[in-house]
Amino acid sequence: MTKYDYLVVGAGLYGAVFAHEAAKAGKKVLVIDRRPNIAGNVYTEDIEKIHVHKYGAHIFHTNDQKVWEYVQNFAVFNRFTNSPVANFHGELYSLPFNMYTFNKMWGVVTPEEAAEKIEEQRREAGIKEPKNLEEQAISLVGTDIYEKLIKGYTEKQWGRPCTELPAFIIKRLPVRLTFDNNYFNALYQGIPVGGYTKMVANMLAGAKVQEGEDFGTGEAPVDDAGSIEVHVGVDFFDAEGAPREDLKALADKVVYTGAIDAYFGYKLGYLEYRSVRFETELLDKPNFQGNAAVNYTDRETPWTRIIEHKWFEFGKDDDGNDIPKTVISREFSSEWKPGDEPYYPVNDEKNGRLYEEYKRLAEAEDNVIFGGRLGEYKYYDMDKVIASALDMCGEVL
Ligand SMILES: Cc1cc2nc3c(=O)[nH]c(=O)nc-3n(C[C@H](O)[C@H](O)[C@H](O)COP(=O)(O)OP(=O)(O)OC[C@H]3O[C@@H](n4cnc5c(N)ncnc54)[C@H](O)[C@@H]3O)c2cc1C
């Protein structure tokens, strides 16, 4: 006998939004995740009252008013603005490239002077048809910005010299002739106060997060209509890597937000990802770098950036008290291999073709919806994944 209307595999944003809307529409929903926690990649772990972004720094930003209003139902957002700092051998520059950057680099004061300086450097380089990424970058912003702010960072990210990278990777390099170091051109931006995990828990209606498979207990009613039950530490796949029929039988329909190639036992081959490794440290000092993100743009420093998590929420705990310690994460670009945590889908032709083949198999699966960044093998920002889940809800609920 079917107990649930939906089994949602994955308690990340896609799964949580879908579960919330389904329960609001009167459905009984079971959510499982193989990790020991909810929230997927936006999971924030509390360390010394600091909400640590365990799977990479996440800044919510969107131009979609509907999504912005939607997330307000689950969290209060602070006024965090992403303004990374570049550290080149100890010289600090403001990012993205703007008047603060140009003033520090060349001592120019007016936008006209900055524009002239960039033009002068481009002219001097005399590159007409860029043959690689280095030439492309220099032809766009000149030598100084390239050498100090682009070269080392890009080489660390791609693990190759810029002269060996294709020019098309950099189509344009936005240059702002204003004193504006707000990284995102988004209408709305912020971080949920209390961390993303709390926001996702609210989407899941505050259901008790249970470890293991004691299904049928701990459901949370939603609007007196449907309900959500959450179990972590439960893998949808069995030891052989096939979808578990006993779990599927628990519900009429499955919403699957794991990797699409994994669902089919990688039978057509592995989809590739770009990966990143984090080294996180708790420091016995209140302030390490004075900013949430500092990019290390020289080639010699092995990490690409350091995140100091407390500054996403301005260094205070939930009661407004200053926090005497700090947590930092160094990020290292790394090659992905099967079995590693998948981070960024590689949207090149080869992987695109393979995904299309998996998608055809997915379309032939009865009663399974494939969604989210892994299910659709697509780089989604948070707002886009929420919008996509809401669209799906509109279609099927
Ligand atoms: C390093 C990094 C930084 C980012 N920064 C930003 C940012 O600043 N701003 C922004 O808007 N977006 C950012 N994003 C994108 C953001 O993380 C995604 O939009 C969002 O997390 C996608 O949610 P999801 O539910 O699709 O996937 P996920 O969060 O990955 O959720 C999928 C869940 O499914 C579970 N699962 C998988 N397989 C199984 C299985 N077999 N059984 C049970 N459970 C399973 C996983 O454990 C996971 O919890 C960033 C992404 C990365 C990688």
Rounded distance, CA 13 to CA 271, Å?
22
Q: Which of 314, 335, 356 is the last residue of a domain?
A: 335
The residue whose CB lies within 8 Å of the most ligand 1 atoms, and thus the one to mutate among 14, 32, 41, 247, is: 41
At 341 the pLDDT is 86
CA nearest ligand 1 atom 22, residue: 373
Assigned domain for 246 exists: yes
Q: Tell me if residue 62 falls in helix, strand or coil.
A: strand
Asked if 131 and 230 sit in the same domain, the reply is: no
CA torsion angle for 242, 248, 252, 257 (degrees, to 10)?
-60
Assigned domain for 66 exists: no
- Show the tokens assigned to 316: 């205070």
At 348 the pLDDT is 87
Asked if 102 and 177 sit in the same domain, the reply is: yes
Assigned domain for 166 exists: yes
At 316 the pLDDT is 92
**What is the domain extent for residue 284?**
273-335
Q: Which of 310, 335, 360 is the last residue of a domain?
A: 335
Q: How many domains does the chain have?
A: 3
* Angle ∠(228,231,236) on CA atoms, nearest 5: 110
Q: How far away, in angstroms, is 374 Cα from ligand 1 center?
A: 8
Asked if 150 and 105 sit in the same domain, the reply is: yes
- Show the tokens assigned to 182: 């707000």
CA torsion angle for 257, 259, 263, 267 (degrees, to 10)?
160
Asked if 303 and 261 sit in the same domain, the reply is: no
Burial of 159 (0-12, 13-18, 19+ CB in 10 A): exposed
Asked if 34 and 157 sit in the same domain, the reply is: no
Pairing assessment for the beta strands 60-62 and 188-190 based on DSSP bridges: antiparallel
Q: What is the DSSP string of 184-241?
A: ---SEEE-BTT-HHHHHHHHTTT--EEESS-TTS--EEETTTEEEEEEES--SB-TTS
Active-site positions?
Answer: 172, 176, 274, 305, 331, 379, 381
CA nearest ligand 1 atom 12, residue: 381
Walking along the chain (397 residues) 10 residues at a time, the average pLDDT comes out as: 88 98 96 98 97 97 98 98 98 97 98 97 92 95 96 94 93 92 96 97 96 90 88 97 96 97 96 94 98 98 98 93 97 89 89 98 97 96 98 97
At 296 the pLDDT is 98
Assigned domain for 63 exists: no
Q: In angstroms, how far is the first alpha carbon of the chain from the final one?
A: 21
- Report whether 330 contacts 283 (CB < 8 A): no
Q: Which residues line ligand 1 (CB under 6 A)?
A: 9-15, 32-35, 40-42, 56, 58-60, 235-237, 257-258, 276, 343-344, 372-374, 380-383, 385
Residue 19 sits in a domain whose CATH number is 3.40.50.720
Asked if 265 and 318 sit in the same domain, the reply is: no
Asked if 318 and 351 sit in the same domain, the reply is: no
Q: Which of 127, 149, 182 is the last residue of a domain?
A: 182
Asked if 317 and 350 sit in the same domain, the reply is: no
Asked if 308 and 354 sit in the same domain, the reply is: no
Assigned domain for 54 exists: no
Instruction: Bin 134: left if φ > 0, else alpha if -120 < ψ < 50, else beta.
Output: alpha
Among the listed residues 382, 337, 348, 273, the one whose alpha carbon sits nearest the alpha carbon of residue 356 = 348
How would you label 36-72 residue by residue, b for 16+ Cβ within 10 Å and e otherwise? ebbbbbbbbbebeebbbbbbebbbbbbebeebbebbe
Assigned domain for 82 exists: no
Assigned domain for 71 exists: no
CA nearest ligand 1 atom 38, residue: 258
Asked if 311 and 255 sit in the same domain, the reply is: no
Assigned domain for 195 exists: no
Rounded distance, CA 229 to CA 215, Å?
8
Asked if 111 and 259 sit in the same domain, the reply is: no
> pTM for the full model?
0.96
Asked if 115 and 247 sit in the same domain, the reply is: no
